[in-house]
Every structure is written in structure tokens, then in C-alpha cells.
Amino acid sequence: MESFIELMKIFLPAILVFFTAFIFFEKAQKKQTTPATAPAPNKDEITKIVLPLKLKAYERLIIFMERMKPNSMIMRLNATSLNSGQLQLECLKAIRDEFEHNLSMQMYISESTWRHVKAAKEETLELVKIAGSKVTPGASGIDLAKAILALEAETKNIHLELAVDLLKAEVKTMI
């Protein structure tokens, strides 16, 4: 009997330590696997946050399309003070810079609309390049501006108008 008591003196504390450690680790593991104590946002809360961001993205892209229109771009870049080569470079740079500035907006719009935005950018870049090839190298910026506007009148810059229409249509479906 005395040996049984001696064994109990050894095993009973060991068993208590084991169960205490087991309970401690079990609670620690549950804390790691359960989500944060804050409840997950519901769909209405997500919409309240995301909808203004999406609307801002559409707004920025429509502004980009408007700024990329040749007549507004030429007015903004002051064609009278540049020669044709300088104006062409400034136009190309302005379009590319504005596009890069708005790249992140693609995550808020549909994939097909984003393709049209990119196509509008490419079409406008091409329009500026073609107009640049039609004027003499030493021509004034005004000559290039006239060539760009004449070429736009011929081609109608269809992708640009289509992209704007698609952006507006998507906004209407959201509100």
C-alpha cells in the first residue's frame, strides 16, 4: 500500500500537469483557428465601402477618356509653343502617363470595358503617330494639331467613344 501511495505522489501531479498543458494548448489552438473577434462584415457593409470606390474608378476613367480626346489634349498641351515633333512626343507621353496613373482602376470595372479602355488608348496613340508621319519634320505644332484633328474627324476615334459609353452604362447598372 505504501508503494501505491508513493506512485500516486509521482503520477497524480504529472497527470494534473499534463491536463493543464493540454487545456492550455487546446485554447491557444482555438484562438489561432477562429477568426478575429470582430464579426465579418456583411454584404451591405461591403457595398457601402466598395460602391464609392467603384464610382470613383468610373469617374477617373471617364476623365481619362475625356482628357485623351485629341481636341482637349491639344488645347491642354499648348500646340502653339511646340514644333510638331515636340507636340507629338508630349501627346504620346500625356496619354501613356495618364493611362499608367489609372491602371489600378481596372479592378473595379468589367474586363470587356477595360479592354475597350485599352483599345481607346492604343487607337489614340496610333492616331497621333499617323498624324505625326503626315506632317513634315520641321512643321509647327499647329500643323500637327490640325493633322491630328483631321485624322480624328476621319476615323471618329470609335473606341474612345465606345469606352465612354460602356463606362457610363456600367455606372447606370450600379445605381
Report pLDDT digits (tens) over 36-72: 556 677 888 888 888 999 999 999 999 999 999 999 9
Backbone angles phi, psi at 114, to 5 degrees: -60, -40
- Within 13 Å of residue 117, how many CA atoms lie on the same side as its CB? 31
Sign of the dihedral through C-alpha 149, 155, 159, 162: positive
User: What does the pLDDT read at residue 170?
Assistant: 94
pLDDT for the residue 124: 97
Residue 28, pLDDT score: 79
Q: Give the pLDDT of residue 32.
A: 67
pLDDT at 43: 82
Question: What does the CA dihedral 37, 40, 41, 43 come to, rounded to 10 degrees?
Answer: -160
Write down the H helix ranges in 69-110.
Answer: 70-77, 84-101
Any idea which residue has 508630349 for its cell?
A: 90
Spans in the chain with pLDDT lower than 70: 7, 32-39
